[in-house]
Amino acid sequence: MSERKVLNKYYPPDFDPCKIPKLKLPKDRQYVVRLMAPFNMRCKTCGEYIYKGKKFNARKETVMNELYMGLPIFRFYIKCTRCLAEITFKTDPENTDYAMEHGATRNFQAEKLLEEEEKRIVQDREEEELNNPMKVLENRTKDSKMEMEVLENLQELKELNQRQAQVDFEGMIDRYSDFEKREKEREKEEDERETKEMLDRALVKRLRDSDSDSEKEEEDSSGSQAKKPSTDKPTDILTTLKPTEALGSSAGGVKKAKVETWERSVGTLGGKGALGLLVVRKKPAATFLKPRPVAAASVPTSQTDSKSSTTDSKNASKPVTTQNGSSSLSLLGAYSDSDSNDSE
């Protein structure tokens, strides 16, 4: 099935456009167009009013042997809406308008008629002055005289109005100047008052800001003093204990509860917890007792016995530790036995 909307036509190979017959149409043929009435008109036959903008199916034709600067002029035929009488009008490119031709009269043409009359008078005057220099002089004197009369009439009207109105123009000017001065002073006072209020608000705001800043600094300094403890080493905070005697019973209970929870979760420093490895205790060096030399023979035995007893008691009270950290009670016993044998 062929397409419905075909854009290209088929031309056979033996197509010859010269063989196509040409239409011979008359030059003054008419076309049917749709238009609106270009102006208000009244039918001459029945007196019906046809207003501007009413639509018609009109016949259009080109006016023969009539041009305006190479532009063709068209004529339109319409029918009256009441009596069906034929009305014709044509274009007027000279005045960019339409001209009524037959069957009706154009309404509301007072302004157009006045303009046409003025144009006609000006043209007649120019034609007269073109060939008659005396007419030019007469027209100039008439114009000047007319201007002087107009000015005199205007001055008389002004004086008449002043006599009837009895208006004091000097007083009006003075009052207006006084009013302007008062307005300027009032505006100046308002500006000064607004600037003063703005400065006061800015001063109050600055004072408030300074007070708040000083308070914040005091609070920060007091808080830093309360929060910063006097510690020499980072690990001292784990071993230092704050005195709780100054606090009340409630504060002491809270402190004990905190210590108990800490010990349960982490453990004490002396225990085998994780924090016990942070603090390393310094191990004391091993001390050995030197054997006492034998006493001289001149010294009595009682004194030697007392000295040996005192030294034995002192050595027994002070246990000796070795590098491994074990007590040397056996060594003390051996030395005591040797001392007793010597004394004997």
pLDDT tens across 112-162, in order?
Answer: 788 888 989 998 888 888 888 888 889 889 999 999 999 999 999 888 887
69 SS3 class = coil
Report d(CA 38, CA 54) in Å as an integer: 9
Report if pTM > 0.75: no
Residue 324's pLDDT band, with cuts at 50, 70 and 90, is very low
Which position has the higher pLDDT, 193 or 300? 193
Whether pLDDT at 318 is above 60: no
Q: Going along the chain, which residue ranges are E strands? A: 31-36, 41-43, 49-50, 55-68, 71-79, 86-92, 97-102, 104-106
Amino acid at 213: D
The pLDDT of residue 172 is 84
Q: Residues 12-70: pLDDT tens digits?
A: 999 999 998 888 888 788 999 999 999 999 999 999 999 999 999 999 999 988 899 99
Q: Cα–chain-centroid distance for residue 138?
A: 74
Residue 50, Cβ neighbours under 10 Å: how many? 20
The pLDDT of residue 323 is 43
The pLDDT of residue 27 is 79
Residue 43 assigned to a binding site:
yes
Q: For 177-191, 256-270, 279-293, 312-326, which range has the lowest pLDDT when averaged over its residues?
A: 312-326
Whether pLDDT at 79 is above 50: yes
Tokens found for residue 303:
């004194």
Residue 18 assigned to a binding site:
no
